[in-house]
Amino acid sequence: MHGMNKISASGAMPASLNPWRLELTETVKLALPIALTQLGQVGMMTTDLALVGRLGGDAIAAAALAQVILFTAFVFGMGLTSAVSPLAAQSFGAREPRMVRRSLRVGLWAATILGIPLSLGQLWGEELLLALGQEPQVASLAHEYLLGLAWSLIPAWWFIALRGFMGAVNRPEPAFWITLAAVPANFVLAYALIFGHFGAPELGILGAGVATTIVNLCMCAAALWVCYAQAPFKKYQVLGRFWRYDGHLMKQLVAIGTPMAATFLLEYGLFGGAGLVVGLFGASALAAHQIALQIAAILFMIPFGISLAATVRVGQEAGRKNPVGARRAGFVAIALALVFMTVMTVIVVSLRHVLPLFFLDETMKDASEIVAIASWLLLLGATFFIADGVQTAMAGSLRGLNDTKIPMLFAAISFWVIGFGALYLLAFPLQLGVTGVWIGFTIGLIVYCVMLVARFHRLTARGYIPDAPHAEHVISKAKPLPAE
């Protein structure tokens, strides 16, 4: 790290004597643009939901159900392509530029191979929702939304892989600027296509899905151009020999990324399953649940950005074979997430009666009922918000150590054995309804959080460092970068 042995002009202590302060500074510098990128992406989802909300309570419920179907596929691919980040970060820390490029390349291949069948699978969303007992009118609207959303998967996953590459080489800012430009573009395009303004056809809820897909394609194209043509990324020649299938490194990506994908799927599956359960209590309850979760998702993006930064920071220290630095990076990430989520939880609880109004037309007949339920759920979510922030920071730190299989088992136990079991028991036998659902998945998240912190502490206390990613054939460092 630059400047470790220098004394600042103000007479501050040398940075080498303040490794925790230095790590905090480096983590914040990396996490801030990543977190803002995540916030921008959830901002697009939020504006979509706010616009769809003007179509009525059934439309909000349909959007919630459609996102259950889409995100079941999306989070699996997100987990796989997110493995680019630890692999590339470890290679960057080990000063292996070819492996940085190869890590990105196999991530793009994986996104494409997985995306084709999963995109087509979205077209049967209505049949699945009907089989799960959802209301036919809401299921039909959800199907319309999915027709537009289905084709957003592959470009969204490519953007995640490209963003992971940018972060791994300590340059996450372009992804933020791309996302910042995409937020207003998505709003204008969705507004035009939903309501038929600016000469666009009036597509209703289908228009929201089409707008999301178009914007994701543009974001992917912009990120690919930046990585290919702009410094400092272009020296990695990210499209060099792109069509060469790297089977050996693909196996490493799958070995790390599949448990990550399964963990994301288990976590999102808990919330998706909770949404299906809430749907049994009526459209108003489901709309309120979706609004409260969307507010939680906005809060979650900052800790998730910290988590992605933690993966890079821990991964880079692992690549340098520095277990003390890796441990410090993980615990700094936890502290940042804990402080942020505590402050934001206080704010949300204070504004719980106001925030849901952003997503609704107050003249709707069921608006007051939806706001009342949503505000109560936001109060219930106080503990859930904090636990969710800490667990995601810890999970990111473990990913930096390539430790993904044991956290996957923790997720299965805490989310489905404990979390879903508790929410079903509280919602039905104990007749707490939607309240029971929220208490149940909060219990699961708290258990998962404790398990992850204990796991990271145990691994790093004994100096665990994973093997660096490697190719099937060793490449001489003396060769120029394009040679493979």
Task: Tell me the per-residue pLDDT of 42-61, one tens digit each, with 9 for 90 and over.
Answer: 778 777 778 887 887 778 78
pLDDT of amino acid 470:
59
Q: State the average pLDDT over residues 229-236.
A: 88
CB-facing half-sphere around the CA of 448: CA atoms within 13 A: 36
Q: What is the pLDDT of residue 426?
A: 95
For the segment 400-421, the average pLDDT, to the nearest whole number, is: 95
* Chain position carrying tokens 């963003």: 163
pLDDT tens for 28-37 read 999 889 888 8
| Count of positions (residues) in the chain | 484
* 136 class by beta-carbon count within 10 Å (0-12 exposed, 13-18 middle, 19+ buried): exposed
| Res. 385: pLDDT tops 50 | yes
Would the pTM of this model clear 0.75, i.e. be above it?
yes
How confident is the model at residue 364, as a pLDDT? 72
274/233 Cα distance (integer angstroms): 42
Q: How many CB atoms lie within 10 A of CB 245?
A: 10
- pLDDT the model gives residue 413: 97
pLDDT at 17: 55
Token pair listed for 196: 């038929």
Q: How many helices (H) and strands (E) does the chain have?
A: 17, 0
Four-point Cα dihedral 68, 69, 71, 76, nearest 10: 130
Whole-number pLDDT of residue 221: 96
Are 335 and 20 a contacting pair, CB within 8 Å?
A: no
Q: pLDDT at position 325, please?
A: 93
Instruction: Determine contact, residues 328/23, Cβ cutoff 8 Å.
Output: yes
Of 10-14, 46-50, 227-231, least confident by mean pLDDT is: 10-14
Mean pLDDT of the region 355-370: 81
Lowest mean pLDDT of 142-146, 194-198, 245-249, name the range. Answer: 245-249
Query: Is the predicted pLDDT of residue 2 greater than 60, yes or no?
Result: no
